[in-house]
Amino acid sequence: DVRDRDAADAAMARAAGLTEGVLHILVNNAGVTDPAMFADTTVDSFQRIHDIHVLGAFNCSQAALPFLATDGKGRIINVTSSAGITGTLGQVNYSAAKAGIIGITKSLARELARKNILVNALAPLAATPMTETIRTNEKFAANMLNRIPLRRWASPEEVAGAFVFLATDAASFVTGQVLPVDGGMVM
């Protein structure tokens, strides 16, 4: 549970123990949705979404920091969404949380550059269980596809390459960026 700081600390220490005490890549990808129009969004729902996305990224990043490589190979890759860039109907809680991830990304990139640790974010849009409700509802699906210039959903494999890019030396001079991998929806 990324909301639990002790659990995040233990997970990072365990992971570092498997790699001679050094972590190279942290991907903050914990996330859930709880769609509702703003008037119907509860404080509990808003807090839960915020805690999983924003507090989770904070906890895991801070827990990983003592172990992250400072030789230019240390990376934090946060997962955000176009919802955090443009907002979205019926998901103010999710949009606010994903915007918070962008803020964490940019601030950490500035701060951790001194330690030679790169911090970036991806804003993917793919056919996953998290997007199933939108993809299988005729009205929602048509609306979404009209917003995507490529007029289709990405497969998870199409998004994976962007993660690989940010995790490797190909992105050794990239930090503080949000890379939308969404068929052109955000441009």
- Could you read off the pLDDT of 99-114 as tens digits, one per residue? 999 999 999 999 999 9
Domain boundaries, the chain: 5-180
- Could you read off the pLDDT of 44-90 as tens digits, one per residue? 999 999 999 999 999 999 999 999 999 999 999 999 999 999 999 99
| Mean pLDDT, all residues of the chain | 96
Query: According to CATH, what is the number of the domain 5-180?
Result: 3.40.50.720
The residue with tokens 């990224």 is 57
Entry pTM: 0.94
How much is the pLDDT for 33?
A: 93
Residue among 127, 112, 121, 96 at smallest CA distance from 33: 96
Between 144 and 100, the more confident residue is 100
Inter-residue contact 147 to 153 (CB < 8 Å): no
List 25's β-bridge partners, or say none: 75
Inter-residue contact 41 to 92 (CB < 8 Å): yes
Judge whether 94 counts as a catalytic residue.
yes
User: Active-site residue among 94, 95, 98, 105?
Assistant: 94
CA torsion, ordered 45, 49, 52, 56, to nearest 10 deg? -130
Binned at pLDDT 50, 70 and 90, residue 129 comes out as confident
From its phi and psi, is residue 117 left (phi > 0), alpha (psi between -120 and 50) or beta? beta
